[in-house]
């Protein structure tokens, strides 16, 4: 009898201990094998010939220019998508207009299209022998394809959905009540946006920006097609890693993994930054009843 | 501020939400817009605020046509049903928001804004909660903060959309009395929307009863309760029973019997008799009365509600008797309404 009473004190949605430990163990195992192990391998490979050899990679001008180019591309693509993402999310969440659901589908397009296809499309559209490409080349002296502008365009395309996707459900959920309240109190459209709308979505926005940034720095397929792989000019970090890896020098292998370690390190910094912000502003997140 | 609504019509995607509504609100009045959901009461409130714009018609603030003014230009205090407090701002910042966003010259100094916020917090009896965030307040407290925030901009009129809709019964009653006190202190012309007739009748100077995008009746609590001008108002405000009857020569007939009630202004033909269950007199004999068999009897708070089947068991009416009245034990009861109203059948 007492055993029966005891059983009832366990929540009905809790599984028996065996099931719980099995599920937890499985998750940890999968994470270890597929995520932690490769990450460790990157750092181990980078350091296999000593720290100095690994650091020597960064005296190679190609490596330096690849790092700088990657940072430049991310620095342009992320702010662009920040603006596009907020605008698109605002339009979809706050207004009803014909073609609204089509726009939602369109925003997801970069997720469903292979990045290689995206790169090819830009070459066919903006290459030097197309009308648009020739116009830019002749009238402005600007090359788009096999140059930095093309890489930025391709990166913007590939990373477009991240911020919009984070904001849309949250903005839809919040509705327009707070904005109406701000307007009725005399705030202008801009004041309402800065003081009410933006603070209401800032955590989702930050999360979207971090994801967008990670993808912008790591994008390979679309950039590989459009860059032309001119060493020191249009090669980003992921491309440079591949170029190093294709060489048959042992030192190049070290360089490949050293650069990969930097890329992985940037991703880790992003994660740590996000966790730190969440910890630092835990009270605000709780007060807002929402967060990631 | 006097408020005039002139033949205002509002359509949403060609579907009319308001059909040509007119209403005059006197300065300093406390007005309730009362109606079931879909009656257009919230639409009317939002049109007054400038959160929506009428398809046709005019909204006058005093002598000024405000129909095309934006919500910012109208300077109204609007309290939302779900408070719409800014969740990332503390109570003081919420209340001061309307002052903080004013353009340069008319914006008070920071210290002045803080002082006004504390003053308003005193008014809504929440002194000392300046630093709290909305999530740390109870529902009733949030609604008070929302009201303080609306009052901070010194609005010309105060508009409240179902102000107590999301609160439990106890808090509602308390806030109702409190809102009346605030209104009497500040003297703002106030319009509030509610679907709760008790709230409307208790709180408002005049009640505007709405149904299906039209105003059915405007009047004091006594007027709309004692002299409903339409079957809808009779049915919506307070308890009512109805019975199909026939009018002939200014008298009411139930089947082949006159029931001893006159109906002077109603044309001959089918009609519906409305009365309050509690406003009846019981009769012993039946020379001109309504008689029915007792179908059920329920205890409701301080009285007993008796359901009667009348006229070949097809019609049912409810009457109210004092608890312990012997008539509730009988199988047949005869009665006559003390007060009643007859509407031609077509109007229902």
Within 8 A by CB and 6+ apart from A148, the residues are A69, A72, A73, A234
Phi, psi of B297 (to 5 degrees): -145, 130
| Mean pLDDT score, B197-211 | 93
3-state secondary structure B228-242: CCCHHHHHHCCCCEE
Q: Which of B72, B146, B158, B191 best tests the A interface by mutation, with the highest count of A CBs <10 A?
A: B72
Q: How far apart are CA B309 and CA B290, in angstroms?
A: 10
Within 8 A by CB and 6+ apart from B21, the residues are B5, B7, B8, B9, B40, B44, B57, B213, B214, B215
Check CB contact under 8 Å for A188 and B80: no
| Under 8 Å between Cβ of B66 and B232 | no
Contacts B135 to A, Cβ<8 Å = 286-289
Q: Which of B66, B88, B142, B166 best tests the A interface by mutation, with the highest count of A CBs <10 A?
A: B88
Check CB contact under 8 Å for B150 and A185: yes
The tens digit of pLDDT for each residue in B7-17 reads: 999 999 888 99
Of A183, A186, A288, the CB nearest to B87: A288
Shortest Cα–Cα distance, A79 to chain B (Å):
24
How far is Cα of residue B203 from the mean position of the Cα atoms in its chain? 9
At A159, list the tokens. 């990373």
The tens digit of pLDDT for each residue in B90-146 reads: 999 999 999 999 988 889 999 999 999 999 999 888 998 999 999 999 988 999 999
Q: Which position has the token pair 């999360």? A: A207
Q: How far apart are CA B274 and CA B231, in angstroms?
A: 8
One digit per residue, the tens of pLDDT, for chain A of length 292 reads 444 455 556 677 877 888 989 999 999 999 999 989 999 999 998 888 888 888 888 888 989 999 999 999 999 999 999 999 999 999 998 888 888 889 888 998 998 999 999 889 888 888 878 888 778 877 787 788 888 889 999 999 999 999 999 899 999 888 888 999 999 999 999 999 999 999 999 888 988 998 899 899 999 999 999 888 888 888 999 999 999 888 878 788 888 999 999 989 888 888 888 888 878 777 666 655 443 3
Check CB contact under 8 Å for B84 and A199: no
* pLDDT given for residue A291 in this prediction: 37
Q: How far apart are CA A31 and CA A35, in angstroms?
A: 5
B76 touches chain A (CB under 8 A): yes
Shortest Cα–Cα distance, B31 to chain A (Å):
20
A142 touches chain B (CB under 8 A): no
Contacts B147 to A, Cβ<8 Å = none
Check CB contact under 8 Å for B101 and A199: no
SS3 B254: strand
Contacts A182 to B, Cβ<8 Å = 86, 97, 101
Burial of residue A88, with CB atoms counted within 10 A of its CB: 0-12 exposed, 13-18 middle, 19 or more buried: buried
Check CB contact under 8 Å for B88 and A284: yes
Please state the ipTM of this predicted complex: 0.83
Distances (CA, A) of B221 to B27, B197, B198, B203, B204: 19, 10, 10, 9, 8
Angle at CA of residue B278, ends B252 and B289, nearest 5°: 30
Check CB contact under 8 Å for A288 and B76: no
Q: Which residue has the higher pLDDT, B284 or B154?
A: B154
Shortest Cα–Cα distance, A180 to chain B (Å):
7
Q: Which of A94, A183, A185, A205 best tests the B interface by mutation, with the highest count of B CBs <10 A?
A: A185
Angle at CA of residue B146, ends B141 and B147, nearest 5°: 100
Residue B38 has pLDDT above 60, yes or no: yes
Check CB contact under 8 Å for B97 and A177: no
| Under 8 Å between Cβ of A165 and A105 | no
A41 touches chain B (CB under 8 A): no
| Under 8 Å between Cβ of A66 and A240 | yes
At A279, list the tokens. 């910890």
Q: How far apart are CA B60 and CA A192, in angstroms?
A: 27
Check CB contact under 8 Å for B84 and A181: yes
Mean pLDDT value across chain B: 89
Of A186, A187, A288, the CB nearest to B88: A288
| Under 8 Å between Cβ of A70 and A237 | yes
* pLDDT given for residue A86 in this prediction: 94
Percent of chain B with pLDDT over 90: 48
| Under 8 Å between Cβ of B259 and B219 | no
Residue B59 has pLDDT above 90, yes or no: yes
Distances (CA, A) of A140 to A85, A148, B138: 29, 15, 62
Burial of residue B2, with CB atoms counted within 10 A of its CB: 0-12 exposed, 13-18 middle, 19 or more buried: middle
At B262, list the tokens. 């006159």
Contacts B102 to A, Cβ<8 Å = 186
Phi, psi of B21 (to 5 degrees): -100, 135
- Among A233-247, B28-42, B47-61, B161-175, the range scoring the smallest mean pLDDT is B161-175
Domains with residue ranges and CATH for chain A: 1-46 (no CATH), 54-289 (1.10.3720.10)
Within 8 A by CB and 6+ apart from B97, the residues are A182, A185, A187, A195, B86, B89, B149, B152
Chain A contacts in chain B segment 110-139 (CB below 8 A): 133-136
A100 touches chain B (CB under 8 A): no
How many other CB atoms are found less than 10 A from the CB of residue B60?
15
* pLDDT given for residue B70 in this prediction: 92
At A224, list the tokens. 């590989």
* pLDDT given for residue A158 in this prediction: 93
Check CB contact under 8 Å for B88 and A199: yes
Check CB contact under 8 Å for B72 and A181: no
* pLDDT given for residue A283 in this prediction: 64
Q: What is the DSSP string of A81-128?
A: HHHHHHHHHHHHHH---TTHHHHHHHHHHHHHS-HHHHHHHHHHHHST
A44 touches chain B (CB under 8 A): no
């Amino acid at each position: 009898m007492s055993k029966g009473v005891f059983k009832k004190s366990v929540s009905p949605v809790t599984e028996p201990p065996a099931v719980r430990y099995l599920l937890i163990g499985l998750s940890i195992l999968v994470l270890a094998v597929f995520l932690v192990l490769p990450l460790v391998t990157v750092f181990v490979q980078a350091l296999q010939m000593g720290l100095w050899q690994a650091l020597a990679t960064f005296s190679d001008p190609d490596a330096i220019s690849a790092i700088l180019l990657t940072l430049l591309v991310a620095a342009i693509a992320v702010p662009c998508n920040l603006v596009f993402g907020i605008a698109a999310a605002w339009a979809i969440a706050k207004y009803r207009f014909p073609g609204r659901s089509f726009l939602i589908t369109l925003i997801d397009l970069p997720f469903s299209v292979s990045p290689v296809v995206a790169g090819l499309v830009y070459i066919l559209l903006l290459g030097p022998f197309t009308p648009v490409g020739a116009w830019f080349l002749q009238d402005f002296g600007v090359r788009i394809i096999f140059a930095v502008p093309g890489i930025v365009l391709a990166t913007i395309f590939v990373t477009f959905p991240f911020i919009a996707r984070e904001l849309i459900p949250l903005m839809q959920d919040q509705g327009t009540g707070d904005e109406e309240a701000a307007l009725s109190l005399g705030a202008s459209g801009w004041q309402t946006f800065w003081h009410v709308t933006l603070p209401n979505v800032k955590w989702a926005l930050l999360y979207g920006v971090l994801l967008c940034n990670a993808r912008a720095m790591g994008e390979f397929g679309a950039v590989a097609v459009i860059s032309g792989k001119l060493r020191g000019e249009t090669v980003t970090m992921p491309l440079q890693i591949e170029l190093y890896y294709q060489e048959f020098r042992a030192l190049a292998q070290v360089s490949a993994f050293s650069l990969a370690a930097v890329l992985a390190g940037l991703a880790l910094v992003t994660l740590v930054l996000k966790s730190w912000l969440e910890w630092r502003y835990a009270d605000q997140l709780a007060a807002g009843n929402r967060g990631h | 501020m006097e408020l005039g609504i002139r033949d205002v019509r509002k359509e949403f995607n060609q579907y009319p939400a308001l059909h040509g509504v007119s209403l005059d609100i006197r300065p300093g009045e406390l007005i309730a817009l009362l109606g079931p959901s879909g009656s257009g009461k919230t639409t009317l409130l939002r049109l007054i605020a400038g959160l929506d714009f009428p398809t046709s018609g005019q909204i006058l603030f005093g002598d000024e046509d405000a129909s095309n003014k934006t919500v910012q230009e109208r300077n109204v205090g609007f309290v939302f049903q779900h408070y719409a407090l800014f969740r990332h701002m503390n109570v003081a910042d919420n209340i001061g928001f309307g002052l903080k966003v004013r353009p340069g010259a008319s914006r008070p100094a920071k210290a002045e804004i803080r002082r006004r916020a504390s003053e308003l917090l005193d008014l809504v009896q929440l002194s000392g909660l300046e630093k709290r965030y909305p999530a740390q307040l109870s529902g009733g407290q949030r609604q008070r903060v929302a009201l303080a925030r609306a009052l901070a901009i010194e609005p010309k009129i105060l508009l409240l959309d179902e102000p107590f809709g999301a609160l439990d019964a106890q808090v509602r009653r308390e806030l109702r009395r409190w809102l009346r006190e605030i209104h009497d202190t500040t003297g703002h012309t106030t319009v509030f929307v509610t679907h709760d007739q008790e709230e409307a009748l208790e709180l408002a100077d005049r009640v505007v009863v709405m149904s299906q995008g039209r105003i059915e009746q405007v009047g004091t609590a006594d007027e709309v309760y004692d002299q409903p001008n339409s079957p809808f108002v009779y049915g919506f405000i307070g308890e009512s029973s109805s019975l199909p009857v026939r009018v002939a020569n200014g008298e009411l007939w139930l089947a082949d019997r006159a029931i001893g009630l006159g109906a002077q202004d109603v044309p001959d033909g089918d009609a519906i008799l409305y009365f309050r269950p509690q406003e009846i007199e019981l009769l012993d004999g039946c020379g001109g009365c309504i008689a029915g068999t007792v179908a059920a009897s329920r205890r409701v708070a301080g009285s007993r509600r008796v359901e009667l089947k009348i006229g070949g068991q097809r019609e049912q009416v409810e009457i109210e008797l004092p608890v312990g009245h012997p008539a509730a034990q009988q199988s047949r009861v005869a009665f006559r309404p003390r007060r009643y109203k007859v509407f031609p059948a077509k109007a229902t």
